[in-house]
Chain A
Amino acid sequence: MVIIGENIHVIAKAVSVAIRERDAKVIQALAKAQTEAGANYIDLNVGPMKKDPEDTMQWLVNAVQEVTDLPLSIDTMNPVAMEAGLKHCKKRPLLNSASGKTDSKENMLPLAKKYNCDVVISVMTDKGMPPDVDSKIESIMDTVTHANELGIPNEDIWVDPIILPVSTAGEGQRFAVTNLEFIKILEDVLPGVKSTVGLSNVSNGVPEELRPPLNRTYLAMLGRNGLYSAIADPLDKELMSLTKGEMPKIAELIHKTMDGEDIDLSILSQKEVEYVKTARVLMGQTLYSDAWLES
């Protein structure tokens, strides 16, 4: 699993202040920590970057490249900031992200061709978020075809099905299941494409201390279905060891839960029970509540 380190994110106060004040130390510390923790890419999520996009992006990319040799994922909706970022990358970067929206097709996708980089393409279109597996497949096939016509081969495309919070009343669990299915069949409908997800969004809105179990379990489940990469927190040690196959018993329990097998919880450790309960929630087998580990 390719892990794109998510921690340089403008929503984090320290990061946004550091970018505004050109304080490289904060950013470099995060880049170094993620590199040491085993990330494969460093994501630079700068948001829309309305002010001074070119200079800021160049500064940020250079600051990070001073302390890490990892390739970068340039994460912004602003095409000017995007181009400035891609231009200064030493390693082949990841354009994060384009979509099937007209605006993105016209302004983002051509940059992937121009800078010969990998590109994340989400299932979003002008009509919004496709609600089920079939419509997600339909939208992404359209957008990938368009990208191919621009000269971007499948092998450079990382498809993002868009993860939504599992705690969203009523619909959240259905979304989680839909994306598991989507990842499972993606390789058959678009041979050669890669895949990625913004993992942490699955636990958005959940009490802070309860987010890691959801993130870890869902990544293991998506991984089993063939997910290629995830934007995630490499500083979460348990997440990383699960991803690297260092927790085979837990992985096996998650797989059994996905297959709907009966599992005797009474003979498992508390941690194992928690993984099974979390996988059941993410499979839509039991109704989500913030007390899902307690019932």
Chain B
Amino acid sequence: MDYKAPVEAYTGVVREVTIGKGNKSLKIGGENILPLHFFDQGSNPNPVKFALEILDMKPEDWPEHAVEPFKDVISDPVSWAKKCRGFAVDAVSLFLMSTDPAVKNAPADKAAALAREVAEAIDVPLIVYGSGDEKKDVEVLSKVAEVCDGMNLLIGPVLKENYEAVGKAILDHGHTAIAQSPLDINLLKELNVKLSKIFPPDRIVIDPLSSALGYGMEYSFSLIERVKQIGVITKDSMTMMPIIANLGGECWKTKQAKENKKQGLLWEGMTALSLLLAGANILVLRHPETLKLIKETIEAR
């Protein structure tokens, strides 16, 4: 008897979200299959994308081997962003760390002006992450949205505590939102439900929080996997959004990554590959050599 492999066909489709404008734009999501299930009926029109992370200030706690690729530009975010382009990134992710009240409490105006300068200097879309301080981010992210009006940046984190104010600014100025919740699928859905009442769901990207290998990565893995299953298989409209895995910072915080370069690259690489397999649509990495390693792994099949 001939064996016929079973082929699944699902009805859920992850929303295709566009970041950036014109020839600086990028599409993520849009798949109606589970991650890498190319044997099933359906497709993923937008294979996984990669961004490199830059900071708005000279990093203080990075090991030398993480600074090394950017050592000549590490104090100048605009040049740093331009240099990322040499590593064939799909996007650049600017982390406005200096605005954190616990770091430098830098003013929103200054952060927003920098975001605009960076966005104009590069020919790929820009992702902007605030410090994560729920109060300060209302000021900072609203200002970024306003100053970069119409550029369709991907801006976050939009949290349960500030989604109304931050969501409105992102919407009013034509950007896309990163909805972030603390590693819990029920809270993730709740935020999407609430945000969707004031914000178009096809402009939301989910950040489920990405933990590093050895530091809770399996929670991020299961969560991303589950979001995809519930979206694609059971067609839950409130989980059918693409996912951003912002993992570089988490990986390079670990003792193992700080110890030596090879270990750091593998730590970031294994975390990235795992979350990619779970279904992340765009990954934010820190080290350009990790990016190279992952691209080679994907191309080698």
Contacts and interface: CB of A to CB of B under 8 A. Distances in A.
Nearest to A167: B186
Contact of A289 (B189, B226, B234, B237): B189
A220 B189 CA distance: 26
Chain B contact residues: helix, strand, loop or mixed: helix
Contacts, number: 44
Contacts of B89: none
Given A170-B226, A295-B238, A287 B193 contact: no
Contacts of B190: 289-291
B194 interface: yes
A62 interface: no
Interface string A152-184: 000000000000000101101000000000000
B40 interface: no
Contacts of A285: 234
Contact of A288 (B186, B194, B196, B237): B186
A294 interface: yes
A291 B196 CA distance: 12
A286 interface: yes
Listed residue (B186, B189, B234) with the most chain A CB atoms within 10 angstroms of its CB: B186
Interface string B224-236: 0010001000101
A83 B214 CA distance: 51
B187 interface: yes
A194 B221 CA distance: 42
B186 A290 contact: yes
Contacts of B185: 169-170, 287
Interface size class of A (residues with CB under 8 A): 10 to 19
A172 B184 CA distance: 12
A291 B193 contact: yes
Contacts of B239: 287
Contact of A169 (B184, B193, B196, B236): B184
Given A167-B186, A169-B184, A287 B236 contact: yes
Nearest to B160: A290
Interface residues of B, number: 19
B193 A294 contact: yes
B193 A289 contact: yes
A289 B187 contact: yes
B187 A287 contact: no
Interface string B163-191: 00000000000000000000011111110
Contacts of A286: 234, 236
Given A287-B236, A287-B239, A295 B186 contact: no
A172 B187 CA distance: 13
A291 B189 contact: yes
B199 to A, nearest CB: 14
Interface in B33-67: none
A187 B175 CA distance: 58
Interface of B: 184-190, 193-194, 196-197, 222, 226, 230, 234, 236-239
17 contacts: A167-B186, A170-B185, A287-B234, A287-B236, A287-B238, A287-B239, A288-B189, A289-B186, A289-B187, A289-B189, A289-B190, A290-B186, A291-B190, A294-B193, A294-B197, A295-B193, A295-B238
- Sorted nearest first, the 8 A-B pairs with minimum C-beta distance are A289-B190, A289-B189, A291-B193, A295-B193, A291-B190, A169-B184, A289-B186, A290-B190
